[in-house]
Amino acid sequence: MKILRLLFITIFLSASVFSVKGQSANEEQLIKIATVQGNMIIKLYNQTPAHRDNMIKLIEEGFYDGQLFHRVIKDFMIQGGDPHSVNADKGQQLGQGGPGYTIPAEFNDQLFHKKGALAAARKGDRGNPEKASSGSQFYIVQGRVYRADMLKAMEQDRQKAFSPEAVEAYTTIGGTPHLDGGYTVFGEVLEGLEVIDRITAMPSDSNDRPFEDVVYNISLIK
């Protein structure tokens, strides 16, 4: 009886610990991107654990402190994550830096490129057929609003339908639907969408780098 009782207690405690861990695992990590144009609060998706954990690691290491949004294209996106951008000279071409590794793609049809989506940049298909993500470079979508018939035409080209949630987003707040399935989306802006609009409105050079530096720092929200 004592053995059975101890076994029951052990199983009960194990189940309780598992339940607590399960609750914790369901909580999405929030991060803050503080920029000269305002702040963005972003949640990292649990559905893309490799990208989530990598960004958390880099943030904890201070990797993103003092970097620039080095590539900014109106009605498209803002891009950062190049360590060479810290204290970069004016006019210096950026976009080739990283931590020295890539991350396997984590595509998920439920995660799409609506306005405010956080996604991983990567090298092109020719040298990267598996679409592996950059170890640090990311972009945040601005995009534009699409009509329903435009999305239908895209569906025919890609031979795959957009989800009802994606159609709703692309026809209201907008996004970049042509990137779906090609780049890993691993988070979204919860607060501060207007910051994206401010940054994309800034004049840029021929390499899409703003003439006025857009410095940012990323921190974890505990």
Predicted local confidence at residue 2, as pLDDT: 39
Predicted local confidence at residue 166, as pLDDT: 98
pLDDT at 139 over 80: yes
pLDDT at 138 over 70: yes
> pLDDT tens, 6-35?
333 333 333 333 333 333 557 999 999 999
**What domains appear along the chain, each with residue ranges and CATH number?**
28-221 (2.40.100.10)
Task: Answer whether 208's CB lies under 8 Å from 21's CB.
Answer: no
Handedness of CA 149, 150, 155, 156 (dihedral sign): positive
Predicted local confidence at residue 21, as pLDDT: 35
Give the list of residues 6+ apart from residue 124 with CB closer than 8 angstroms, or none: none
Predicted local confidence at residue 126, as pLDDT: 94
Mean pLDDT of 79-83: 98
Which tokens is 117 given?
A: 């989506």
Could you give the CA distance from residue 172 to residue 10 in angstroms, rounded to a whole number? 52
Give the list of residues 6+ apart from residue 65 with CB closer than 8 angstroms, or none: 86, 217, 218
Give 183: exposed, middle or buried? Use CB within 10 Å, 0-12, 13-18, 19+: buried
Phi first, then psi: what are they for 66, rounded to 5°? 80, 15
Mean pLDDT of 92-116: 97
Q: Looking at per-residue confidence, does 1 or 95 come out higher?
A: 95
Predicted local confidence at residue 222, as pLDDT: 86
Query: pTM of the full predicted structure?
Result: 0.88
Pairing of strands 71-73, 77-80: antiparallel
Q: Looking at per-residue confidence, does 16 or 221 come out higher?
A: 221
Predicted local confidence at residue 3, as pLDDT: 40
- The percent of residues above 70 in pLDDT, for the chain, comes to 89
Predicted local confidence at residue 26, as pLDDT: 78
Mean pLDDT of 178-199: 98
Q: Which residues of 140-158 are buried (b: 16+ CB within 10 A; e: fewer)?
A: bbbbeebeeeebeebeeee
Average pLDDT, the chain: 91
Could you give the CA distance from residue 190 to residue 140 in angstroms, rounded to a whole number? 12
Could you give the CA distance from residue 113 to residue 111 in angstroms, rounded to a whole number? 7
